[in-house]
Amino acid sequence: MRRPAPGCAIVIALFAALVPAPTACAGASGRAQPQPLERLFDNAAVSDDARPDTADFDGLGASLSARDLTAAGWTPGRTLTVQGARLTWPLRQPGEPDNVLADGQHVRLGGRGDALAFLVAATGGATVGGAGEVAYADGTRSSYRLTVPDWRTGPLATKAVALPHRNTPAGPVAGRTRLYVVTVPLVRERRVVSVRLPRTAGVHVFALAVRASGAGWTGTWAAAPSGYQAVGPWSDRTVRLVVHTSVGGPRVRLRFDNTFAQAPVRIGGATVAVQAEGAAAREVPVPVAFGGAAGIEIPAGAQAFSDPLGFTVPADTNLLVSFHLPDTVTAAPVHRLAVQQSYVSVPGDHSADASAAAYTGVLSDWPLLTGVDVRGGPGSVVVIGDSITDGDRSTTNANRRWPNVLTRRLLAQYVVPHYGVLNQGISANRVVADGYPGDGVSTDASGVSALDRLDRDAFAQTSARTVIVFEGVNDVRRLASAGQVVAGLREIADRAHARGLRMLAATILPCAGEIHCPPAVDAERVAVNTWIRDSGAFDAVLDFDAALRDPRQPARMLPAYDSGDHLHPGDAGLAALADSVDLRTLMP
């Protein structure tokens, strides 16, 4: 039995019926001793649909549906990985206390990493925020600010999971309810010992964890989910995706994301191989495992990392990542514009096939797979961009996107570390407005805004060291003002710097001659570029505008760099962008 802290009153059994025992003892300093989060649970958020009155999440009798949570794969005691953080959904039955109303409680926690991850929702009808504090083993402390969206009105674009209805004493009410994973920065690699929650009315905390920083791993390939789209339908099929590495390493792990989903997806088995040609592998593909098992079910909104595998990943090379989908899959998170041909098989698990014979179907997108990491290396450069970064109008299957060319420049020199380069471009993406709404099956694959995807697509990427933002042309083409774009870019810079990341921005390319780029739009573009160059908001500026514009007509690209649509550079223009980067600016 643990001894009471010095100075803590001991409740004598004789008076136990008369005097309530304290929930936490005060130490000699008078501060409450930290407790595990589950010991502090004081609110019931989840009810059985048949007994909705057993929980009161919002103070008005409404609650989350246990049935909906189960359908999403969020079952009691299950550990879910979201934004790289492992969070456990409370092991509580419907109607039992399953969350903490944040009121300055002192939570015991351990681990080293780059961020604290909170599984939260607010119930006051609006987004709310409050300040808290982190204590480290070396006696130091750091403060944080937690901002929590409302469970009914918060943005769907940033939610972890959305459920189709809420329970009330009068019965179920249709309407999306949301849960969020919100991360806040830590002092990197200091060991956390406790966290003080904010004192903020209506903030509910279900789980809390330290997110590991990914130390020892480098991201070599990544793709951002651009929407949740109809696929197949696939039933008992194997998907074989072709992905191109940046850096190499002696071990590998894969990341699959079920972002934006409403239901779990099951991967029956997965393999990795070096591509020979088309869907054919050089050698027999090697299976990966998930917690020692061949496959895994990924809950809605969650992700799965494979176990580390001893497999030599070459740099600047095509891999085949194959995964079997044993159940019927009609929709999935997808990166739409792959500029790369991938494959889908006839029925059966063909993930271990070296031959291409079973792969009779062709794909032009990347579903479910979002990352490939290699062991070792110096970390990664993450590029948040739009179609120009995504490689629109570049040669298919040739890996001539400008981040690919930047990779080859890095690999060819020894002054700057050989960083992994992670292309998080999404065609038609914008800085300040969502194209895809962030929930439901949609044909819109322009993604949620750079602001709304920044945490997931940049900060949570494996061993991110430097972030480059190269966006804004779609905002001004859609008639956003320079002021709106500048405000969004400034927020991106501030948030990255708060995470200790190096933050670079690229100027917007000229686009005169394209139908949505008249002189008035060009004036807004020029105003944004002037701010990027002169504001000092970024650690360095990549002047892509200067690299590609026609000196005689500065509102246009040089014809040699223009793909022909006056908006997207062709292969030569994309290479010119990469060649214009001073590699030293990438170093933290």
| Residue at a domain's end among 178, 211, 244 | 211
5 pLDDT higher than 70: no
Domain-embedded: residue 539: yes
The pairing of beta strand 63-65 with beta strand 46-47: parallel
What gap in Å lies between CA 365 and CA 243, rounded to an integer? 11
pLDDT digits over 367-400, tens only? 999 999 999 999 999 999 999 999 999 999 999 9
Q: What is the mean pLDDT of residues 169-190?
A: 95
How much is the pTM? 0.94
What gap in Å lies between CA 514 and CA 316, rounded to an integer? 34
418 pLDDT higher than 60: yes
Instruction: Provide the β-strand partners of residue 245.
Output: none
pLDDT of residue 311: 98
Burial category of 136 from C-beta neighbours within 10 Å (exposed 0-12, middle 13-18, buried 19 and up)? middle
Domain-embedded: residue 393: yes
pLDDT digits over 455-498, tens only? 999 999 999 999 999 999 999 999 999 999 999 999 999 999 99
329 pLDDT higher than 80: yes
pLDDT digits over 292-307, tens only? 999 999 999 999 999 9
What gap in Å lies between CA 488 and CA 83, rounded to an integer? 22
Domain range for 271 is 227-370
pLDDT digits over 251-293, tens only? 999 999 999 999 999 999 999 999 999 999 999 999 999 999 9
What gap in Å lies between CA 178 and CA 120, rounded to an integer? 9
The tokens of 114 are what? 């780059």
- Reduce the DSSP state of residue 490 to 3 states and report it: helix
Domain-embedded: residue 117: yes
Q: Which amino acid type is present at position 423?
A: N
Residue 429 CB neighbours (<10 A): 30
**∠ CA 124-127-129, rounded to 5°:** 100
587 pLDDT higher than 60: yes
Instruction: Check whether residue 186 and residue 253 sit in a common domain.
Output: no
Instruction: Check whether residue 363 and residue 508 sit in a common domain.
Output: no
Strand ranges, E, within 186-226:
192-196, 199-211, 217-222
Q: What is the mean pLDDT of residues 187-192?
A: 93
Instruction: Check whether residue 405 and residue 549 sit in a common domain.
Output: yes
Instruction: Check whether residue 254 and residue 135 sit in a common domain.
Output: no
| Residue at a domain's end among 328, 348, 370 | 370
pLDDT of residue 405: 98
Instruction: Check whether residue 341 and residue 389 sit in a common domain.
Output: no
Q: Among all chains, which residue has been given the structure tokens 């895809």?
A: 436
What gap in Å lies between CA 572 and CA 309, rounded to an integer? 37
pLDDT digits over 119-128, tens only? 999 999 999 9
Domain-embedded: residue 216: no
Domain-embedded: residue 28: no
pLDDT digits over 58-96, tens only? 999 999 999 999 999 999 999 999 999 999 999 999 999
Instruction: Check whether residue 354 and residue 388 sit in a common domain.
Output: no
pLDDT digits over 533-551, tens only? 999 999 999 999 999 999 9
The number of distinct structural domains making up the chain is 3
425 pLDDT higher than 90: yes
CA-based end-to-end distance of the chain: 48
Domain-embedded: residue 126: yes
Instruction: Check whether residue 157 and residue 102 sit in a common domain.
Output: yes
What gap in Å lies between CA 43 and CA 56, rounded to an integer? 7
What sign has the CA pseudo-torsion 387, 393, 395, 401?
A: negative
Domain-embedded: residue 304: yes
Helices (H), 119-206: none
32 pLDDT higher than 90: no
pLDDT band at 31 (very low <50, low <70, confident <90, very high): low
What gap in Å lies between CA 313 and CA 318, rounded to an integer? 10
Instruction: Check whether residue 269 and residue 415 sit in a common domain.
Output: no
Domain-embedded: residue 16: no
User: 368 near 333, Cβ under 8 Å?
Assistant: yes
Burial category of 378 from C-beta neighbours within 10 Å (exposed 0-12, middle 13-18, buried 19 and up)? middle
| Residue at a domain's end among 301, 335, 370 | 370
What gap in Å lies between CA 147 and CA 128, rounded to an integer? 6
Residue 7 CB neighbours (<10 A): 11
Instruction: Check whether residue 389 and residue 425 sit in a common domain.
Output: yes
pLDDT of residue 189: 83
Question: Average pLDDT, whole number, for the chain?
Answer: 94
Residue 23 CB neighbours (<10 A): 11
Instruction: Check whether residue 394 and residue 488 sit in a common domain.
Output: yes
pLDDT band at 213 (very low <50, low <70, confident <90, very high): confident
Instruction: Check whether residue 178 and residue 289 sit in a common domain.
Output: no
The CATH number given to whatever domain includes residue 403 is 3.40.50.1110
The tokens of 520 are what? 């008035």
Instruction: Check whether residue 382 and residue 357 sit in a common domain.
Output: no
